[in-house]
Chain A
């Protein structure tokens, strides 16, 4: 047991060094003030003990001193604030060209879906030296994705996507913990992040898949009949989805939202929440019909539309034979997209 006593976590991401540097400064300042206060108590206790100093000298206070010990700690703490905020800002903004992995958490396992099509459970393989962005959601309760060696943590919530990123710097196996209490087997919701050299990762990523995540998404896109309305020739009852990802979308109430992963997910499950300007709110909800993994595949597919990563939907189906019940709205049949 004694031979195995590490006192500091491995440092395996670009961020880890920055977090540790601030941590060491905080440790130093804490040690300084704790020792200062302990020393003052000790010195005063000895110098002014009753036996040696029988009569206390009354002092009412000193505004100068009060100001001093208000302003100095405030100044020092502002260093911690600014530095900490700077790190957080980096932590929450993934670099633009990050490789993406989708994470679906559930009681009590981690599922990872690579865009190349690999699927993993409780183990995540990533290459060294690349920015990796995780797009995460939960099927049930709140979980939290925590890799101490990367100094990275982000809660994984049901009903929305959260995201975090890291840039691994050292090959190895690192603990992955769920750090948000999630029920009975919370402490078994652990796994490993395996950082591989780029070559080894390339090899790993090219074996044993039956198509990319986007191609799985394409299958769902056909299967659920999305392609009947969301036609790539802009003649469908729903907006053309080719190239929309990451672009601002004008809504029918005049607001503009960016079509990110969360927007796409919401539009599938709750289509009436944010209707694109010029379209009728006729799309039925797919709540309860597609699970989180299916949604992830659909999101990956729609993201790939227009940047060459995915095939555009083929407008082969007759709109009259929509595979889902068309909402019984009188204007539904004559609904045609028209710009405002």
Chain B
């Protein structure tokens, strides 16, 4: 190990190319920016998790006895705002995407490196603004900012929080533009669209949604702030506005935002399942096309959040139908991942365990989405814990699972170090078990009728809430463990070598950690993605140098 460490140290890579705080804060290297994002979103993840913990503790007993109603309302609002806007939306694109998009297509950096750095600063400014809103009293509108509560009735820091999210939105737009241009213009010679890794396809689809959707959210939040400050009468019925207009505008972004969160995660799963099955992906064209279908259809289903809000019966029917359509491409992806395992040569390293967890939980999340898309059922379960369980199955069971999966898969590439496999497997297992224990009881609670955002609840709901809180503690351990062993691995982890998984993909054909310019010479691609048959035939994994 000692000798390996020495040879590794001799090589200049993006981590040791330069030292000092300035070399990080003024870097334009996409890999360093990815790490800046990694640290920032991890902080926000644990902040959001802390709010979740307090929520679960409060719900341990039916009476609202741990915190006051106002505090509770702020807790679930800030949990939602921090998790959705500052963790889930940026997580995979800005950390894994930033690191991997240029490497996977054989480029030296993103198309606009300075814009990339700017996006991080903008994100931090937005995040800081939200933190300011939290510290100076918090917000209590729910992350959905429904009017007229948010514009007229709440006396909390609505404008500050909205401004923070407004600013953070621009970092999404910057990243989206950067990815789109990079993927179009900077692919290595020979890397045609149909040879692209599916992670690239899904990040491409995500970027399109970011660029098209985020401005609508920005406009909506500005209108909320404007009505609050200047009493304009856009959403306030007393001033001639329409409160439902807000819901249309808000969900026009925030439903596609769900696909911003899940699509890059799906890309991660495609990479991992192929690698640990040693197989080409089953039905490449269909998986790639499914990402695009989801991105397009995702813009046409927003009013399924409004089935009980008083919209017309026929509008509700159209949106219900379209909602069922958008479920299909997701199902196609799941079936293709499973078919990829067929006739594979499967091994069970940590990333693969996370991928299994993702497929199972995402299936549950997706199927329960059909309940909500079905009008007759939605009327009963809308705004209950059934919805809370459903979107946590997709967002946490799906997206966070995929993020952890990707982090474990590319950690050796990012840092050049291996984490302790045993602990990592344990954390994958704890996450899966803890997650189900936390959120499965909430489906039952929801169908029984427990509304969401309730500080206190009738006593017959207690047992299931206790189970949920118990599960949350297990889940917390599952998230804290990786923090510990990832940091530990930086110093004590074994050297990973360029390609510990013998994985396909250009990012594995360079040293770990990669040099600042990613590749010594620009690779020329003559093969399809996931050419595991060719890789497994060779004794040595090819290194492009």
Contacts from A to B (Cβ < 8 Å): 1-2, 4-9, 18-19, 22-23, 26, 29-30, 33-34, 37-38, 40-41, 44-45, 48-50, 53-62, 65-66, 69-70, 73-74, 77-78, 80-81, 83-89, 91-93, 107, 140-142, 144, 146, 148-149, 151-155, 157-160, 162, 175, 177-188, 190, 270, 287
Minimal Cβ-Cβ distance residue in B for A161: B310
Residues of B within 8 A of A53 (CB): 343-346
Is residue B278 within 8 Å, beta carbon to beta carbon, of the partner chain?
yes
Are the CB atoms of A23 and B148 closer together than 8 Å? no
- Indicate whether A184 sits within 8 Å of B460 (C-beta atoms), given known contacts A56-B533, A58-B280, A84-B320: no
| Complex Cα spacing A93 to B312, Å | 11
- Ordered by A's residue number, 12 sampled pairs between the chains whose C-beta atoms are within 8 Å are A23-B377, A23-B380, A30-B370, A30-B371, A53-B344, A66-B332, A77-B324, A80-B373, A81-B320, A88-B375, A141-B148, A158-B238
Residues of A within 8 A of B373 (CB): 77, 80-81, 84
The smallest C-beta distance from A164 to any residue of chain B, in angstroms, reads 9
Residues of B within 8 A of A7 (CB): 444, 448
Residues of B within 8 A of A107 (CB): 153
Mostly, the B contact residues are helix
Q: State which of A34, A41, A153 has its C-beta within 8 Å of the C-beta of B380.
A: A153
Interface residues of B in 309-339 (CB under 8 A from A): 309-310, 313, 316-317, 320-321, 324-325, 327-328, 331-332, 334-336, 338-339
Are the CB atoms of B376 and A91 closer together than 8 Å? yes
Interface residues of B in 338-373 (CB under 8 A from A): 338-339, 341-348, 356, 359-360, 363-364, 367-368, 370-371, 373
Most chain A CB inside 10 Å of its own CB: which residue of B284, B307, B325, B377: B377
- Indicate whether A86 sits within 8 Å of B376 (C-beta atoms), given known contacts A81-B324, A175-B458, A181-B146: yes
Other than the given A26-B370, A57-B343, A59-B280, 10 more pairs (CB < 8 A) read A44-B338, A54-B345, A59-B342, A65-B283, A66-B286, A80-B370, A84-B376, A85-B320, A140-B148, A148-B449
**B49-91, CB under 8 A of A: which get 1 and which 0?**
0000000000000001000011001000000000000000000
Contacts from B to A (Cβ < 8 Å): 64, 69-70, 73, 140-142, 146, 148-149, 152-154, 237-238, 240, 242-244, 277-280, 282-286, 307-310, 313, 316-317, 320-321, 324-325, 327-328, 331-332, 334-336, 338-339, 341-348, 356, 359-360, 363-364, 367-368, 370-371, 373-380, 382-384, 444, 447-449, 451-460, 462-464, 466, 532-533, 536
The smallest C-beta distance from B186 to any residue of chain A, in angstroms, reads 28
The smallest C-beta distance from A254 to any residue of chain B, in angstroms, reads 22
Are the CB atoms of B451 and A81 closer together than 8 Å? no
Are the CB atoms of B453 and A181 closer together than 8 Å? yes
Are the CB atoms of A5 and B149 closer together than 8 Å? no
- Indicate whether A45 sits within 8 Å of B348 (C-beta atoms), given known contacts A85-B375, A86-B376, A181-B453: yes
Q: Give the number of residue pairs across the A-B interface with Cβ within 8 Å.
A: 292
Are the CB atoms of A19 and B146 closer together than 8 Å? no
Minimal Cβ-Cβ distance residue in A for B321: A81
Are the CB atoms of A185 and B153 closer together than 8 Å? no
Residues of A within 8 A of B533 (CB): 56, 58
The smallest C-beta distance from B75 to any residue of chain A, in angstroms, reads 13
Residues of A within 8 A of B244 (CB): 157
Are the CB atoms of B382 and A153 closer together than 8 Å? yes
Q: State which of A48, A85, A175, A190 has its C-beta within 8 Å of the C-beta of B317.
A: A85
- Indicate whether A142 sits within 8 Å of B146 (C-beta atoms), given known contacts A62-B283, A187-B454: yes
The smallest C-beta distance from B109 to any residue of chain A, in angstroms, reads 33
The smallest C-beta distance from A76 to any residue of chain B, in angstroms, reads 9
The smallest C-beta distance from B494 to any residue of chain A, in angstroms, reads 21
Residues of B within 8 A of A70 (CB): 328, 331-332
| Complex Cα spacing A187 to B456, Å | 6
Of all A-B residue pairs in the complex, the 6 with the closest CB atoms, nearest first, are A159-B237, A148-B449, A87-B376, A84-B374, A88-B375, A61-B283
